[in-house]
Structures are given as C-alpha cells and as structure tokens.
Structure 1
Amino acid sequence: MERRSFLGLGAAGAATALAAPAIAQERHVWRMVTTWPRNFPGQGVGAQKIADDITAASDGRLSIEVYAAGELVPPLQSLDAVIDGNAEMSHGTPYYWQNKSLALNFFSGVPYGMTSRELTAWVRYLGGQELWDEVYEQFGVRGFLAGDSGTQAGGWFRSELTSLADIQGLRFRTPGLGGQVWQRLGASVTNIAAGEIFQALQSGTLDAAEFVGPYNDLALGFHQVTKNYYLPSFIEPCAGAELVVDRVKFDALAPDLQMIVRLATQAAHDQMTADFAANNPRALRTLVDDHGVIVRTFPDDILEAGAEASREILDGLRGSSDPLTQRVAESFMQALALQRARKEQTEIPYLLARERFFQTS
C-alpha cells in the first residue's frame, strides 16, 4: 500500500519549552487536539506550525503540545475536548460541528459559495469574525481562521457519472452543507475522518468519497481504489481550517500571548493556503501521469441540480428559526454578492483573456 507514513504513527514529543528567562514569568503548557493524522500534508503540518510558532514566539511562556487524530481523543471529538476542558485548543474545520450550530458551516465551505480569498475577506473585514465569535461564545470557545485548501476536488467515484440518475443510492463520504446537497440529489451521505476513508472505499462500504483535493488525496491513496476523479467540487469552493481555543483560558492570557496566538494563527492560515495552491497541481500531475487517474467533470444536470439544492438549503438557513444562524447566513450572502460582483468584473475577464491569448510552456 502506498499511503504515506503519517497514518498510524504514535504521538510525537511535545514542543520543548525554551530556556527560562532570568526573571521568572508565568508559563503555560496547552494541549492542541486535531482532526488530522500526524504530519498530514497541509492541515496536519499547519496545526504543528501554529504550535511551534506560538511556543517559539512566546519564548516558551505558552508551550503547545499537539495530539494528532486519535492520539488523545477521536478526531471528530476534537471540539468537544476543548468544550469539556480536556484540551485547550483544537484544529479542525467548522462544518464538522454543524450538529452544534448550522451557522458554523459558513466559516468552512458552502456549496456554490465563497472561494478562499472571499471567505477570508468576509471573516476579516466584512463582519464574519464578529458573528463567529457569537456562535462560539455559546460553547465557551473562540475560533480563528487557520488555513484554507482552496477549491476542492469533487471526489473519487467507483463508476463514471453520466447523469443525475447515477447518484441515486450512492454511498458517499462528504461533510457539511455539501453533504446535504448530495443527499437531496439522491446519495446516502456519511462523514468519517480522513484516516478512515481509504478502508471504507477499499472495503466497498463507500461508493465514493471526497476529502480535500489532490495534495491530500494522493497521500491518502484513494487512487489505489478507483481512477475516476472529479474536478472541481461545486459544494466546496473553499474549506476554511480553524483553530479553536478555550475562551476563558485565552482571555486569562497576558495580552502579548493573546496577540502571539492571533498572529501565529494568521500566519499559518496564509502559509497553509499557499501550500495547497503550490502542491495541489503538482499532486494532480502525479496522480494522472504516474497512477493513471482519469480527471472528469460533473455532468451539467448534476451541476444544475446541485445549484438548485444549494439555493434551497441556503434560503432555508436565511429564514432559520435561530436568529443567530439567520444573521450569519444573511451576512455571508451579502458578502458573497459583493465579492462576486468584483470577481465578475475583474478576475473572471482576466482569466478568460489569459486562457485565450497567453499560453505557457
């Protein structure tokens, strides 16, 4: 089996605190649990970078020990570990926790929604962070953007999809609002953690699965089960990663340590986003050239039905009986309209012109 060595590894040593300064200062050792396997490309590496940067920048005053998926708690219980006080931080993605609040979907990936840069703009400058703070305040935590995969892949399918009819009864791993879209199209949807997907595909428990994109999918070895790879995803035009922190413990930190956490997370967000942008195309080339993967696009009737299902779901959230979910959905849609207008006036015409008139070797 060709899967990378990050799967199944035991817990690695925690970040080592630096030498104590001449004047004693208060020191903290915090635990970060993640939903990712250790050394996982993009997300796992990004989580470790946050921990390492906080430890180094604070001169060991705030030392972060990272526990990968399953090392301290099951991967999809990472947020609960922080809420319950069993860890001070978690690293995952917000739509994994939609059972706590549907509003959390908007800070991750929304079908036919914002791209990576658009989501970042909403969170940082268009009111998204303030709403996110309100959502997470209910659970005693704070959330910060900590990376983004960019537009994801549509997934791996055992059989080629020729029409909407092929989705009926399809057993498909996909999370968040996107999972609700595929359910409306006729699929039977489940969400399982990254390290469990390969076995489910291989055993036939799943007929299809999507996780992130070529960079992660190559490492997870999905190409060993099926060669039908659909690009791009219409349900995840981006997927924001998050750092979640215990609110009481964060607020009790000295102001400079709070700032270090914020800046380290922002730096990791930008670095992870660039990591995916650089390595997704290289991994896709490897999948196609070295492993015989066939890149396919979804038929138009699937894309159209997916768009209609997405509109229905988003309209339902804008009319939610929960006032906070309603406000988050409305803010997201207003920001999407603003960002979409800019993209249609600038980036799309530019990309079309580049496609027509400028060829690269």
Structure 2
Amino acid sequence: MSAATSPSERRVSARIGAISESATLAVDAKAKALKAAGRPVIGFGAGEPDFPTPGYIVDAAVEACRNPKYHRYTPAGGLPELKAAIAEKTLRDSGYQVDASQILVTNGGKQAIYEAFAAILDPGDEVIVPAPYWTTYPESIRLAGGVPVDVVADETTGYRVSVEQLEAARTERTKVVLFVSPSNPTGAVYSEADAKAIGEWAVEHGLWVLTDEIYEHLVYGSATFTSLPALVPELREKCIVVNGVAKTYAMTGWRVGWLIGPKDVVKAATNLQSHATSNVSNVAQVAALAAVSGNLDAVAEMRTAFDRRRQTIVRMLNEIDGVLCPEPEGAFYAYPSVKALLGKEIRGTRPATSVELAALILDEAEVAVVPGEAFGTPGYLRLSYALGDEDLVEGVSRIQKLLGEAKD
C-alpha cells in the first residue's frame, strides 16, 4: 500500500498491517496441510510438547464443565483461587514471594507479553531484545508503541548476550530489557552469575526487565534455572515475570498464562484485559489450578524424553558438513548455524538465505523447519525436538541426506 494512501482509502490500519504472521505457526500449519494431503512431512516447527495433558488436569476441567459456578463471568484478572495457587507455585519453584494482587491470569503467554508491554511502554520507548528472539516479542513491542532494539548473540557465545553488549545498546530512550532463560529459539540458559550481572546492570540504570520464564522446568545437564527477581531483589519494583502452563504441563491449547509484577502495572494490564477479552475461560483456569497445585512428576517424565532427544538431534546435526549446532541447555529447540551451506549447490539450486534453504528442505526432504530470519538472525534454522524419537531420527536423517549433497 502506498504511503500516499489516505486514511479513508486504507482498508487495514498501518499498525496492524505491519504485523508479520507468526513464522512458527505458519510453518506448522503448512506442514500439517501437506500431511493432510498425503505427503509424509515431518514437522520440527511448532514449539509444543508431543505429550497429552496429564489426566488429573483433564479431570479437573471435566468437573468444572459440570459446575454452574464456571458457566458465568468471573473476575477479569483471574479466578482468586488460581491467583493464590500461582503465588504459591512461584515461591515453590522460583523462591520469589509475591501476593495474588500482583498476578494477572491471561489467555496464554502471548497475551501476558503484549499486555505487559502495553502497560509500561509509551510511544518511542526502546526495548533491548537479545537475538535470536522468539517471533512474538518484537511484534508485541511495536503494537504497544515501543521500538525493539536487537542485540545479537551467536553460536560462539552459546547465544548469550553480555552486559557489555547490552550497555552498548542502551540509549536515553531505553526503558526495558528483555531477559529470557531458557531461551526460545536457542535453548540457551544463563548462569546464575551472568543473570545476576544483567539484573544488577538493569537496576543501576533504572531499567525495567520483562523476563519470560515459560521454560523454567526444562533445563538439562548441569544447567539451572534462575528467576531474576528472586536473584536480584532490588529489581522487583521494575520487573514483570511472564509464565504459563503450556510447556510445563503440555497444555499449549488450553491458553492459560500469567504475568507477575508491581501492583499498579498489574492493575493497568487487568484494566486492558477487561476490555479486550474479559476473563480467561473458567474451565481452562480450573485445569491450570490443578496443574500448578499438583506435583511436577509429569514434567520430569517429559524432561527425560526431551533430554534424550536433545542429545540425539545435536549429534546428528553436527554430523552434517557445514552445520554447527551448539548443545542447548534448556527448552526443546536446536538452533544450528547453516551459514556455511548458503550459496552451495543442492539439487540444482543455490539457496542464498536460510529462508530459501528451509523451503528446499521442505520441498525435497519433506521436513519442516523454521528459518533464522523469523528470529532476527539469518543463517540459522530452528528445529523443535518436541516430537517422537522415531520421527526425530527420520526427519534429521532426511536432512542429512539432502544437505550431504551440497557442493561448491
């Protein structure tokens, strides 16, 4: 649409028209469509556990469906009993003590992220975003009127940014720094010392921190999860924590997340939600209540499977000439560099970008992966290993065969 187009002629607003489709969901949708058409596509695109939601959580939802109490509107900020349980769960898992009044229950983590940025950003405020980043972060910042400022880390640092890099990106317009550990898309986990240094740097410069803890229970080997506001108490009045049940309890489709923050910010975000969506589905909230109030046995089983798959996918990817894949320490993603393969001939084509390489892998190997452009770093691919072991080995074997044909 031309910049000269008048407002009366513009069919879609400039603000919404500028939003990109979620690349990860787009890849997953295409893979599912091809499978439905009969093609043996293996999808590494979507970030969702391949396990069913635990039975006791489903049972709680069934009971809620039968209870007329949950057939009506409830408080926009969340069921009081769920908010209280989230506060208890946060203390149990993170060592971070909060009050229920500091919690807003949202329709998944995405709504929590958008509402958090909408509550604290004014037009032109800058947010430092470590890259590679999850696709939704910059879009949520822009929707809230903010300006994302990328700080890029690569495989040489395990995709972890330094305080020096953050400081170099800080300007008088900087208001927020995003902190994500474990990370999507890289699986990077910051050490306690590095996390503390970033938190103290934010405090020193009076910055807000938005920290996404959705993968808190999915860490492997010697890596450990650290909650920033628990580690740096001075940060708490300018820290917003985003979390949810999607990854820990295999509940991606239930759409229950939350944000934790200072009471005035949570009240503002709750006001926004009261006009946007009202309360989250009561049935899903009751299911989430059962999840966060229960034990962590289900996630322990998933973590064992993910750890096994993590080691397999990293080994197999690193067996491909031109592919370099650091070992992820958390979440369930591998993020290999394929820069050395770009421009090489593969089955009569010379993919110049990771977008073109991902398209070639889908067309020729019938394997769906997400190109690094979606995460702010061209030259990489993201593969979720939250799929069955047999499909994982078959899918990477197809990629090995295809990319093994690369030649100058």
- Identify whether the pair has TM-score above 0.5, normalized to the shorter chain: no
Which is higher, the Rg of structure 1 or of structure 2? Answer: 2
TM-score tier, shorter chain, comes to under 0.3
More helix by share: 1
- With structure 2 as the length reference, what TM-score do the two structures score? 0.24
